Amino acid sequence: MTLSLSGVSRAFGGVRAVDDATFTVADGEVHGLIGPNGAGKTTLLNLISGLLQPTDGTIELDGRRIDRLPPHRIAALGISRTYQNIRLFAGLSAADNVVVGQHLRRHAPFWRRLLLLPAARREERAAREAAEAGLARVGLRERARLQAFSLSYGEQRRVEIARALASQPRLLVLDEPTAGMNPGEAASVGRLVREVAKEGRAVLLIEHNVRLVMELCDRITVLNFGKVIARGTPQEIGKDPAVVAAYLGDGT
């Protein structure tokens, strides 16, 4: 079991943004987190990545408690994420963004660079090539040198995914990865997510594109007002009357 949450709650004053959430994400599984706006989905991701601490409950990664660790330690244990409101390093090129994403995977000591050793240059070239390969994987090879802020919205989202993957995470957390993308782009992100899962990584994603969620996810957890109201396979979720009432409406 990669990620397991049990009884996780987070209150902001009197508002319980996440209330007693319990679910697990397994290796190689694509796990969808859905729910209406304000259901607490992004708060839950912030709890998992350590940007927030839960007021109650425990979060474990491979049986190890992570809910009191700072974000950089959690990242070092293998959780990498993207953001709903894209947080690229706007002034850096797309490739440089991905190079930053390799931070945990690079072990080049600074003194080697200080002494102008060729090993340092080789390591840098390898990092740059890996970054370009990462961008090629999200279909942005030819955009590598452009500054992040000059890319389109959908392209920025894909750079963010490449950056998150650059740390070779055990668990990839995606917050609305296809928001603002056209159907073609969204479908290619869907394929990428399946590929990542096939490598044995767990993927946890928030997504509002219902059709994509239904196609992509192995299992789905539905949140409403901070509470888990349903868990199961897409088929089960689609039939669940509580979910239909709270979220999907009658149209689907």
Partner 1 sequence: MSDLLLAYQALFAFVGINGLLALSVYATLSCGQLSLANAGFMAVGAYTAALITLHAPGVPFIFVLAAAALLPALLAVPLGLPVLRLRGVFLAIATIGFGEVVRLFFVNWDFTNGALGLVAIPQRTGLVTIAAALLVALFVLGRLWRSRAGYALEAIREDETAARTMGIRTTSYKLAMLSLGAALAGLAGGLEAHYTFMVSPGGYGFGRVVEMLVQAVVGGTAAFYGPVVGAAFLTVLPELLREVGARLGLAPGPFRLFLNGAILLAVILYLPNGLVSLPARLRRKVLS
Pick the stretch among 45-53, 132-140, 212-220, 240-248 that binds partner 1 (CB under 8 A).
45-53
Strands (E), 195-241: 202-206, 219-224, 227-232
Give the pairing type, strands 79-81 and 227-232. Answer: unpaired
- Report how far apart, in Å, the C-alpha atoms of 150 and of each of 131, 141, 168, 247 are: 18, 15, 26, 35
- Least separation, in Å, of the C-beta of 214 and partner 1? 29
Please report, as residue ranges, which positions from 25 to 44 form the binding site for partner 1 (by CB under 8 A): none
**Judged by CB under 8 A, does residue 11 bind partner 1?**
no
3-state secondary structure of 80: strand
Pick the stretch among 32-40, 76-84, 190-198, 221-229 that binds partner 1 (CB under 8 A).
76-84
- Least separation, in Å, of the C-beta of 72 and partner 1? 5
Q: Which is nearer to partner 1, 80 or 178 (CB)?
A: 80
Please report, as residue ranges, which positions from 88 to 147 form the binding site for partner 1 (by CB under 8 A): 88-92, 96, 99-101, 103-104, 106, 108, 110, 113-114, 116, 120, 124, 127
Tokens of 33: 């987190």
- Least separation, in Å, of the C-beta of 29 and partner 1? 21
Q: What is the DSSP letter of 248?
A: I
CA 250, CA 172: separation in Å to the nearest integer? 32
Q: Which is nearer to partner 1, 107 or 250 (CB)?
A: 107
Pick the stretch among 49-57, 174-182, 194-202, 213-221 that binds partner 1 (CB under 8 A).
49-57
CA 246, CA 111: separation in Å to the nearest integer? 58
Bridge partners of 231, per DSSP, are: 221
**Judged by CB under 8 A, does residue 175 bind partner 1?**
no
Q: Are 34 and 231 in contact (CB under 8 A)?
A: no
Q: How many residues line the site for partner 1 (CB under 8 A)?
A: 35
Q: Are 8 and 47 in contact (CB under 8 A)?
A: yes
Tokens of 161: 């995914």
Contact residues for partner 1, defined by CB under 8 A: 49-51, 70-72, 74-76, 80-81, 83, 87-92, 96, 99-101, 103-104, 106, 108, 110, 113-114, 116, 120, 124, 127, 163, 167
